[in-house]
Amino acid sequence: MHFHFVFSATEILWTLTFAAELVLLVVLLGRERARRFPWFTASIALMAVLELVRQVLNGRVSQLAYTGAFLAVSDVVSVVGVLVIVELARRAFKGASTQSLAIGAAAMLAVAGAVLALWGPWPAWKTLTDRSLLAGLRDLQMMADKGALLNAVLGIELGVVVALFGRRFDAGWRTHVQQIAIGLSTVGLAQIAVRAVWQAIVFHTVVRSHEQYDRLMALRDRLYHASSVVFLCALVWWIGWLWGEEKAGNRE
């Protein structure tokens, strides 16, 4: 028996992701986690808005208006994502000395800055100073892309540091801080892996026909779907952990 699915994989993932984001927001607000993690709550709300922009505006307004709105929200998501990292780091290492925090922050930023500088092209200064509409959209695209990469690297670093040293500062396994950090690092790893694999494929592939191009685009979609599945799993992970209470001896 053959089953015919009306919805595409993209539509199914969008529906599940948006629903999970809404459930997570309900948990954060209803269980009063939003007061402890305001920036994390804001980031989830903004990602839900981004999902709405993608679904509601795409095809219903001009492509230029849709692209501008999508990239503008994406840039805000990137900025808030950095604030989430700061928020979690402050809670995870609340008892650490100022010197230790400064050294740790400098090391994380150095690694993230190196990755940001070396991975991916940067536009020429003339392109950045161009004041045309298309140039503005290119700038928004660059900021969204670099911001996503920065957040992915910082998320991975934070997850590793919290897992290794968090218990010394009462941010052990059953704390909400560590569980959020683990989710962020897992999502970051998936995003980095997809970037690396896709760039390697593009670098070693020469497109000689329209059919080959279609197969390449289908492969790209499957890679991004895999990354979306990881993000969906992280949302479910956060819902489960943030719904429950922390173990008394492990609270931050």
pLDDT in tens, 179-201: 999 999 999 999 999 999 988 88
- Please check whether residue 4 lies inside any domain of the structure: no
Q: Is the dihedral of CA 16, 22, 41, 171 positive or negative?
A: negative
Residue 1 resides in a domain: no
Query: What is the SS3 assignment for 105-170?
Result: HHHHHHHHHHHHHHCCCCCCHHHHHCCCHHHHHHHHHHHHHHHHHHHHHHHHHHHHHHHHHHHHHC
> Which pLDDT band holds residue 6 (cuts at 50, 70, 90)?
low
Residue 22 host element (H or E): helix 9-30
| pLDDT class of 1 with cuts at 50, 70, 90 | very low
- Does residue 36 form part of some domain? yes
> How many domains is the chain partitioned into structurally?
1
How far apart, in whole angstroms, are the C-alpha atoms of residue 138 and residue 84?
26
Locate 93 and state its tokens. Answer: 């290492």
Decide if 96 is inside a domain.
yes
Q: In the predicted model, what is the mean pLDDT of residues 99-120?
A: 88
Residues 231, 176: Cα–Cα separation, whole Å: 18
More confident residue, 178 or 129: 178
In the predicted model, what is the mean pLDDT of residues 99-110?
89
Q: Is residue 161 part of a domain?
A: yes
Q: Report pLDDT digits (tens) over 214-235.
A: 888 888 889 999 999 999 999 9
Mean pLDDT of 142-160: 93
Is residue 177 included in any domain, yes or no?
A: yes
In which band, very low, low, confident or very high, does the pLDDT at 3 lie, cut at 50, 70 and 90?
very low
pLDDT of residue 232: 96
Determine the residue type at 220.
Answer: R
Q: Has residue 78 been placed in a domain?
A: yes
CB-based contacts of 226, cutoff 8 Å, min separation 6: 190, 194
213 within a domain of the structure (yes/no)? yes
Percent of the chain topping pLDDT 70: 91
Range of the domain at 232: 9-250
Contacts of 10 (CB under 8 A, 6+ apart): 221, 225
Q: Binning pLDDT at 50, 70 and 90, where does residue 251 land?
A: very low
